[in-house]
Structure 1
Amino acid sequence: MSKKEALRDRAGWKGFIVVIFAVLMVISTIFSIQFGSANIPLKDIWTTFTGDIQSDFQNIIWNIRVPRTFVAILVGANLAVAGVLLQGIMKNPLADPYIIGVSSGAGLAGMIVLILYPHLPHILTPVAFIGATIVAFTVYALAWEKGIAPTRIILAGVAISAFLGSGISALMVFYSDRVQGTIDFMVGGLSARSWPQVEVILPYSIVGILLAIIGIRKMNLLMLGDRTAKSLGARVEWIRFSMTAVATLLAASAVSVIGLLGFVGLIVPHTARLIVGNDYRVLLPASIFLGAAILTASDTLGRIMFAPIEVPVGVIMGALGAPFFLYLLRRKMV
């Protein structure tokens, strides 16, 4: 087989993997609509979507399961893309919106709105974006030492996350009478998420993912190293700045509707990268589909594991993500 044929086969294999991830997303979407505290037969789901017959489960499907599933898909895709971008920008496979403190910045800003200004829910996402942006560029500045220092990213992120976590705890102490409504936000849960949350996150998802797609070529240039990228005419620092802003927008929008959900941006990009490689033309769509599939499946698992008691998806992702992070950390240290 010639080198050209081998390359074509390799590209075909990567495309096949992306299709597999898309199929997994579709399957997890169907399961999310079907399973929960009440299991819905597939024929009822079909008739509800086609409108042929009125189903007894129609209200559950349209007003509970479908919007919740849409939120899970969008949040999973947003956090996965944010993780992919941050790992490329910061040259560290351990970079993740949660680990480096971006989610904590959005979380603290979101908690301030939820506790101090509960009558202004429409400002939650913009304020979360501001908080996440401040943290993202603070971490970036602290990690810079004649170039990006990967180890400093994690250290700076952990320190900032701890500082912001103390701020969240202080809010909970001083305003303990208002904390009850923020529990789901703290643990990262999809309970009671419906069409209003879809309407909040959808525009940010569309804009953020489109901007990430537009930046695919620029992210591939960063993979070549700063010197090579600059020799090809790339404005390296502008690429980092703009793509960090895109990642922050995606992470903040996800946090604003689901709360402090961690490790999606770590597990998904790293898994996708191991399978399809570092080419963002394939890595980005693979991460979008895999992120949506994993978060939707995890939410479904949380609903059926101890039904009728629901385990927040943030707990499921923490149980999966923490060991995965330690594995990556050990691999990187060895």
Structure 2
Amino acid sequence: MTDISVQSHKKAETGSYKGVYFLGLLILFLITVYISVNTGSLNISMEQLLSGLFVKYDPDVAVIWDLRFPRIFIASLGGAALSVSGVLFQACMKNPIADPGIIGVSAGAGFVAVLIAGMFPSLYFLTPLFAFAGGILSCGLVYLLAFKNGLNPLRVILVGVAVNAVFTGLTQAFHSMTGGSMTGVASIATANISQKTWEDVYMISGYVVLGLVLAFGAFYKCDLLSLSDQTARGLGVNVTTARISVSFLAVVLASISTAEMGVVSFIGLIIPHIARLLVGSSHKVLIPFSMLGGAFLMLLADTLGRTIAAPYEISASILLSIVGGPMLIILIRRSEKIYGVQ
């Protein structure tokens, strides 16, 4: 009886810590939103912002609403999608360094999105669907080329890096052929979200919200896929079907965010890793925490990029690469057995 009481106390204590982490992350996100709103030549107080949004018309708030809020929404939604995509890929591949940017899915989606934006601009609102096709193609290539008596985690990463390099090179080549002007092609190729409008928000929000809801609904599958295949089959799970369905959701989320933000790497690596340290490996908690964490990190990187070298901007993808590269090295060095390095 005493042991049961002790275990119940520990579970309650762990649960309270998770609640504190969620609340702390939410507060950090809201603070970052306010800072992002006031990053630029026009600044307003919190009282003026709330009054202009909900009470009466304010021209300053209206300007910020049209120019800055679309960027905030896209960064938040895109960051959440990429982070959850990383969680799903890691569950499928049993590989804690699987990230849609690293394994080439984002690059494949970005290349097709660039082609559509440059050659068929009238199909702009269908860009997420075409980007999804590119993501599926890239993911399929990685799985196919890496498969040899199973999916070895190290082989997946190496093949993914190669596929990523190919699609990135094709994207940059096409960008150069267009003259490098800041068009829809350039915004995707350079991961620039400075000129986004509410039309872009409407386009990405429907896809991302639906994808995030479906991803959360797949938390049980992710938990099972994290086990050995033999154990999962023993529990009555069709491992192949589960892996394909979860991979499908991961590609959807990565492709849609890439179609709007361009190729952004390492969010799907950094946030899930930190989330597991804070809230554990249960995907029922890990997925929503990663959503919020991804939104926070992407918005933070975008806001910093706007302030570090003002009035010039540094792309959020560049800042994330500077941070994510060393983290990838640290993860590989700490997990030698996982990656097959002796």
TMscore range, shorter length: over 0.9
Take 2:148 and 2:7, find their aligned partners in 1: how far apart are those partners? 40
The answer for the alignment partner of 2:261 in structure 1 is 258
The answer for the alignment partner of 2:272 in structure 1 is 269
The answer for the alignment partner of 1:16 in structure 2 is 20
User: What CA deviation, in whole Å up to 9, does each residue of 1:246-299 have, x standing for no partner?
Assistant: 010111110111111111111111111121111101111110111111111111
Take 2:33 and 2:335, find their aligned partners in 1: how far apart are those partners? 34
The answer for the alignment partner of 2:189 in structure 1 is 186
Indicate yes or no: 2:179 matched with 1:177.
yes
What is the SS of the residue equivalent to 1:36?
A: coil
**1:106-125 → structure 2 map (5 Å cutoff):** 106-125=109-128
| RMSD, aligned CA | 1.7
The range that moved more, 207-216 or 54-63, is 54-63
The answer for the alignment partner of 2:295 in structure 1 is 292
**TM-score, normalising length from structure 1?**
0.94
Contact kept, 8 Å, 2:175 with 2:189, in 1: the verdict is no
What is the SS of the residue equivalent to 1:234?
A: coil
Query: Structure 1 residues 37 and 266, CA, compared in 2 at 3 Å: closer, same or farther?
Result: farther
Please point out which of 279, 282, 287 is paired with 2:282: 279
Please point out which of 80, 95, 98 is paired with 1:95: 98
The AA in structure 2 aligned to 1:139 is: V
Take 2:61 and 2:250, find their aligned partners in 1: how far apart are those partners? 37
User: What CA deviation, in whole Å up to 9, does each residue of 1:115-151 have, x standing for no partner?
Assistant: 2222321221111000001111221233333332100
The AA in structure 2 aligned to 1:147 is: G
Query: Structure 1 residues 35 and 169, CA, compared in 2 at 3 Å: closer, same or farther?
Result: closer
Q: Post-superposition shift, 1:307?
A: 1.8
**1:1-334 → structure 2 map (5 Å cutoff):** 2-52=6-56, 54-173=57-176, 175-177=177-179, 179-181=181-183, 182-333=185-336
Take 1:202 and 1:143, find their aligned partners in 2: how far apart are those partners? 33
Take 2:66 and 2:314, find their aligned partners in 1: how far apart are those partners? 20
Report sequence identity in percent. 34
Query: Structure 1 residues 24 and 118, CA, compared in 2 at 3 Å: closer, same or farther?
Result: same
* Count of aligned residue pairs for this structure pair: 332
Q: Post-superposition shift, 1:39?
A: 2.7
The range that moved more, 96-105 or 120-129, is 120-129
User: What CA deviation, in whole Å up to 9, does each residue of 1:144-191 have, x standing for no partner?
Assistant: 333321001111101111222232233235x24365423332221220
User: What CA deviation, in whole Å up to 9, does each residue of 1:90-122 have, x standing for no partner?
Assistant: 111111000000001001101111222223212
Query: Structure 1 residues 28 and 178, CA, compared in 2 at 3 Å: closer, same or farther?
Result: closer
Point out where structure 1 has 5 or more consecutive residues left out of the alignment. none
Take 1:30 and 1:121, find their aligned partners in 2: how far apart are those partners? 31
Take 1:266 and 1:313, find their aligned partners in 2: how far apart are those partners? 15
The AA in structure 2 aligned to 1:50 is: F
Contact kept, 8 Å, 2:52 with 2:62, in 1: the verdict is no
What is the SS of the residue equivalent to 1:2?
A: helix
What is the SS of the residue equivalent to 1:242?
A: helix
Point out where structure 2 has 5 or more consecutive residues left out of the alignment. none
Contact kept, 8 Å, 1:187 with 1:261, in 2: the verdict is no
Contact kept, 8 Å, 2:109 with 2:259, in 1: the verdict is yes
**TM-score, normalising length from structure 2?**
0.92
Take 2:198 and 2:41, find their aligned partners in 1: how far apart are those partners? 20
